[in-house]
């Protein structure tokens, strides 16, 4: 049996592929992961590590919304006998089952000292959008000009 020039198996595979893609879009959630990299890395090594994790997310079907490098910051308490670390924030959309695999990779990497992944609700999404647009930096600049 042929349906419009396609074999029934090919038609079924095509339909299942479309359905699976629609389901994955429907069930994607917004996440934000902040991780701290060891301060002994050079800038190139730090950027390579960040790119490795961003590419891992992309390969697994996640959509990267934003990547922010917050730079070298002082830690609140020593971690692995280090008092500073490179902070990186990655905001992305993905299926929930990807998070476990992503966090396993973060744990395996020796350059990652700590990480935290959170699900963004509608209020956090609105805040993240405003932060990306730089609304908070503008207010700080206005306050500095006023004084």
Structural domain includes residue 129: yes
Structural domain includes residue 92: yes
Structural domain includes residue 7: no
DSSP assignment of the chain: -EETTEEHHHHHHHHHHHHHHHHHHHH-EEEEEEEEE-TTS-HHHHHHHHHHHHHHHHHTT-EEEEEEEEEEEEEEEEETTEEEEEEEEEEEEE-HHHHHHHHHHHHH-TTEEEEEEEE--HHHHHHHHHHHHTHHHHHHHHHHHH-
Q: What domain range includes position 45?
A: 28-146
Structural domain includes residue 52: yes
Domain count, the chain: 1
pLDDT at 30 (0 to 100): 95
Structural domain includes residue 97: yes
- 113: Cβ contacts below 8 Å, ≥ 6 apart: 36, 37, 38, 79, 80, 82, 85
Structural domain includes residue 87: yes
pLDDT at 133 (0 to 100): 86
Q: How confident is the model at residue 132 (pLDDT cuts 50, 70, 90)?
A: confident
Query: Quick one: tokens of 105?
Result: 């990779």
Structural domain includes residue 125: yes
Phi, psi of 121 (to 5 degrees): -85, -175
pTM over 0.85: no
Structural domain includes residue 39: yes
pLDDT (tens digit, 9 = 90+) per residue, 5-58?
Answer: 557 677 666 766 655 555 556 678 999 999 999 999 999 999 999 999 999 999
CATH number of the domain enclosing 134: 3.30.70.60
């Amino acid at each position: 049996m042929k349906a419009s020039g396609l074999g029934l198996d090919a038609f079924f595979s095509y339909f299942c592929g479309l359905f699976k893609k629609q389901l994955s879009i429907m069930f994607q959630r917004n996440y934000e992961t902040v991780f701290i990299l060891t301060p002994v890395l050079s800038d190139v090594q730090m950027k390579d590590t960040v790119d490795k994790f961003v590419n891992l997310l992309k390969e697994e079907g996640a959509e990267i919304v934003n990547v922010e490098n917050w730079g070298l910051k002082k830690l609140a308490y020593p971690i692995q006998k280090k008092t500073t670390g490179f902070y990186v924030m990655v905001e992305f959309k993905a299926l929930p089952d990807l998070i476990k695999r992503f966090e396993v990779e973060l744990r395996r990497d020796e350059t990652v000292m700590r990480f935290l992944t959170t699900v963004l609700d509608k209020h956090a999404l609105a805040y993240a959008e405003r932060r990306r647009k730089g609304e908070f930096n503008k207010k700080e600049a206005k306050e500095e000009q006023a004084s």
